[in-house]
Amino acid sequence: MQMSTAVFDEYIIAPDPEREGLTRVVQAMDASGEPRELRVVEERPLTIYLNRREIVTAMTIGDYPEYLALGFLSNQGMLSATDTVTRVDYDEEVATVVVRTAEETDHEDKLARKTRTSGCAVGTVFGDMMAGLEGLTLPATPLREEWIYALSEKINRTPSLYLAAGAIHGTVLCEGDRPLVYMEDVGRHNAVDKIAGWMRSEGVSGEDKILYTTGRLTSEMVIKTALMGIPILISRSGFTAWGVEIAQEVGLTLIGRAKGKRYECLSGAERLQR
Amino acid sequence: MQMSTAVFDEYIIAPDPEREGLTRVVQAMDASGEPRELRVVEERPLTIYLNRREIVTAMTIGDYPEYLALGFLSNQGMLSATDTVTRVDYDEEVATVVVRTAEETDHEDKLARKTRTSGCAVGTVFGDMMAGLEGLTLPATPLREEWIYALSEKINRTPSLYLAAGAIHGTVLCEGDRPLVYMEDVGRHNAVDKIAGWMRSEGVSGEDKILYTTGRLTSEMVIKTALMGIPILISRSGFTAWGVEIAQEVGLTLIGRAKGKRYECLSGAERLQR
């Protein structure tokens, strides 16, 4: 990299593409018929438990499993803001994370009731996420246009697994034009869940923050951002109609296709200062 | 389009980007501050039932719901090759598809047993998919290098929702250098499941086929392709370490980063004729 390291000093957590276990070298053959070595990202199962109950198995690169578990459970409405988390235990050997709360949450009962009729929580979990949006009001945090450009440039130039190996999504928690926490994962939802887990662990509020993602702005990304209390979501990728509709309904500022000095504002233009 | 329509005559099913209900126009504001209209893809929930049991709610653009349901259940191992499907009923108003079998499958019992201990089928379903790979042998179908180039070019030039609106993945079932069935969806797994559903409905075998996807080659994409009996998987995107590993284990030819006259062969080079 030709740039000063000053930019990267802004991060509280930056990607660590050199970290062992996140990538692997595989043998490939290219169109010239020559053998070559390629660096690729890992992908491994991680099973998340809430107290005694197995909730889900996520496919992940494997870093920050505790944040992933905490953020996933929070974003799915299985762990509320008032639940006291007493311990988070990660067992690398059996690839599990167990999140323990002071009192068993009523989610266990709720889930048991639902699975009796539905067989799988996936569908109903989505309903729980939507329910969490009712009555939600996002703050009038301003967004300066130059922050969009500055964040895009800084994030794109930050050494990352994406630059080193590709096939991975990134999500960055930002404040003004400063990127704070940059998480990556094979699924874009894992990357945003890790951010949510970090925020919960550190007691960080979303009200003055901006979330940047490399992935598409689907309904689920918009819902998660709103549930995290973050009023602004920026992506360099595209968006779906329902993502836009939900952003408009909850009053979230949605910026898509942010590249160079271009972007599309799809919702919440009142926060944008041009 | 300046090209002859001859290429598109090769398709049995091609994308229909003009079809009503798949896209919507949203109002946006770009960096110049000017309002503009953008065409974006729809994304809506579809709940899949197997007989009386609710299995999952998928987020989909909404076309070919019957193929999506059939393919999803087949690829998840919930519907075996020997199960007789008597009816597939799609109800647009309540956004459900019900797949009915001649005899209740043992999957219902299996699922009930599992949910008692696990709370959600997501994790265990993945285990079922892996179990389906045991003893699988993929045929020695050849892959000519020029087919990779021809398919990439034809598929990239085919009018699609991707070209019209972006933010969508495509999967194409091919034979030799001919693209046969091109499905698109907001999730790349839905696109491949729709192909699987079409194959099952039409009684089409995967043994002499090639699957092309615009999305990344993750473990789940590789597993689904192998379960469909297709020996060759090509993508213009990257790949994960586990995707490569599973391809090598099951003897599937895996081609990544196929663009122009370039590609990387990551597994199964013995099928490649250069």
The Cα-based distances of A126 to A60, A75, B223 in angstroms read 20, 10, 26
Taking a C-beta distance cutoff of 8 angstroms, is the pair A45, B126 a contact?
yes
Question: What confidence tier does B54 reach under pLDDT thresholds 50, 70, 90?
Answer: confident
Radius of gyration of chain A (CA): 19
CB atoms within 10 A of CB B207: 11
CB contacts of B94 in chain A (<8 Å) are: none
| Distance of residue A128 Cα from the nearest chain B Cα, in angstroms | 13
Dig out the tokens for A184 from the structure: 């990556």
A203 reaches B (C-beta below 8 A): no
| Distance of residue A267 Cα from the nearest chain B Cα, in angstroms | 8
pTM of the model: 0.90
B57 reaches A (C-beta below 8 A): yes
Name the more confident of A133 and B197: B197
B249 reaches A (C-beta below 8 A): no
Closest Cα partner for A211 from A186, A229, A238?
Answer: A229
**150-179 in chain B: CB under 8 A from chain A:** 165-167
- Residue B216 above 80 pLDDT? yes
Closest Cα partner for B257 from A171, A22, A165, A217?
Answer: A165
Taking a C-beta distance cutoff of 8 angstroms, is the pair B56, A120 a contact?
yes
Question: What confidence tier does B267 reach under pLDDT thresholds 50, 70, 90?
Answer: very high
Share of chain B above pLDDT 90, in %: 77
pLDDT on residue A175: 98
pLDDT on residue A56: 84
Question: What confidence tier does B158 reach under pLDDT thresholds 50, 70, 90?
Answer: very high
- Residue A118 above 70 pLDDT? no
CB contacts of A41 in chain B (<8 Å) are: 240-241
| Closest chain B residue to the Cα of A144, Cα to Cα | B31
Q: What is the mean pLDDT of chain B?
A: 89
Q: Residue range A13-34: average pLDDT?
A: 95
pLDDT on residue B23: 96
pLDDT on residue A106: 67
Name the more confident of B195 and B76: B195
φ/ψ (deg, to 5) at B190 = -65, -40
B118 reaches A (C-beta below 8 A): yes
| Distance of residue B2 Cα from the nearest chain A Cα, in angstroms | 26
pLDDT on residue B117: 33
Query: Which residues are CB-neighbours of B233 under 8 A, at least 6 positions away?
Result: B210, B211, B212, B213, B217, B221, B222, B225, B247, B252, B253, B254, B255
* CA A10-A12-A13 angle, 5° bins: 115
pLDDT on residue A127: 61
Query: Is the Cβ pair B120, A118 closer than 8 Å?
Result: no
Which of the residue ranges A129-143, A212-226, B106-120, B194-208 would you say has the lowest mean pLDDT?
A: B106-120
pLDDT on residue A111: 56
pLDDT on residue A135: 87
Query: Is the Cβ pair B44, A242 closer than 8 Å?
Result: yes
Taking a C-beta distance cutoff of 8 angstroms, is the pair A210, A143 a contact?
yes
- Residue B110 above 60 pLDDT? no
Q: For chain B, which residues make up each domain, given as ranges?
A: 44-131, 143-273
Share of chain B above pLDDT 70, in %: 88
| Closest chain B residue to the Cα of A220, Cα to Cα | B59
Q: Could you give the CA distance from residue A99 to residue B79 in angstroms, rounded to a whole number?
A: 34
pLDDT tens-digit series, residues A78-102: 898 899 999 999 999 999 999 999 9
- Residue A1 above 50 pLDDT? no
| Closest chain B residue to the Cα of A243, Cα to Cα | B43
pLDDT on residue B132: 79
Question: What confidence tier does B77 reach under pLDDT thresholds 50, 70, 90?
Answer: confident
Taking a C-beta distance cutoff of 8 angstroms, is the pair A72, A220 a contact?
no
Question: What confidence tier does A210 reach under pLDDT thresholds 50, 70, 90?
Answer: very high
Run of H or E including B68? helix B65-75
CB contacts of A163 in chain B (<8 Å) are: none
Q: Could you give the CA distance from residue A48 to residue A53 in angstroms, rounded to a whole number?
A: 9
Q: What is the ipTM metric for this complex?
A: 0.87
Q: Which of B115, B188, B218 would you mutate first to test chain A, the one with the most A CBs within 10 A?
A: B115
pLDDT on residue A27: 96
Question: What confidence tier does A115 reach under pLDDT thresholds 50, 70, 90?
Answer: very low
pLDDT on residue B122: 41
- Residue B196 above 70 pLDDT? yes
Q: Could you give the CA distance from residue B154 to residue B14 in angstroms, rounded to a whole number?
A: 12
- Residue A143 above 90 pLDDT? yes
pLDDT on residue B109: 58
Q: Residue range B89-104: average pLDDT?
A: 94
Of A42, A122, A145, the CB nearest to B56: A122
φ/ψ (deg, to 5) at A23 = -135, 165
Run of H or E including A225? helix A219-227
Q: Residue range A104-132: average pLDDT?
A: 53
Q: What is the mean pLDDT of chain A?
A: 89
- Residue B142 above 50 pLDDT? yes
Adjacent-strand bridge partners of A59: A45
A23 reaches B (C-beta below 8 A): yes
- Residue B32 above 70 pLDDT? yes
Query: Is the Cβ pair A45, B126 closer than 8 Å?
Result: yes
Q: Tell the residue number behind the tokens 């990239």, with chain if given.
A: B156
CB-side neighbour CA atoms (13 Å) of A153: 11
- Residue B264 above 50 pLDDT? yes
Q: Residue range A45-57: average pLDDT?
A: 90
> What CATH number labels B44-131?
3.10.20.10
CB contacts of B47 in chain A (<8 Å) are: 123
B97 reaches A (C-beta below 8 A): no
Question: What confidence tier does A146 reach under pLDDT thresholds 50, 70, 90?
Answer: very high
State the virtual CA torsion across B16, B18, B20, B25 in degrees, nearest 10: 130
pLDDT on residue B2: 44
Query: Residue A257: which region, alpha, beta or left (left: phi > 0; alpha: psi -120 to 50)?
Result: left
pLDDT on residue A196: 98
Share of chain A above pLDDT 70, in %: 88
Q: Could you give the CA distance from residue B167 to residue A241 in angstroms, rounded to a whole number?
A: 10
Size of interface A-B (CB pairs under 8 A): 170
CB contacts of B266 in chain A (<8 Å) are: 26, 28, 38
Q: Does domain A143-273 have CATH number 3.40.140.10?
A: yes
Q: Is the dihedral of CA A232, A233, A235, A239 positive or negative?
A: negative
A119 reaches B (C-beta below 8 A): yes
Q: Residue range A153-175: average pLDDT?
A: 96
Question: What confidence tier does B131 reach under pLDDT thresholds 50, 70, 90?
Answer: confident
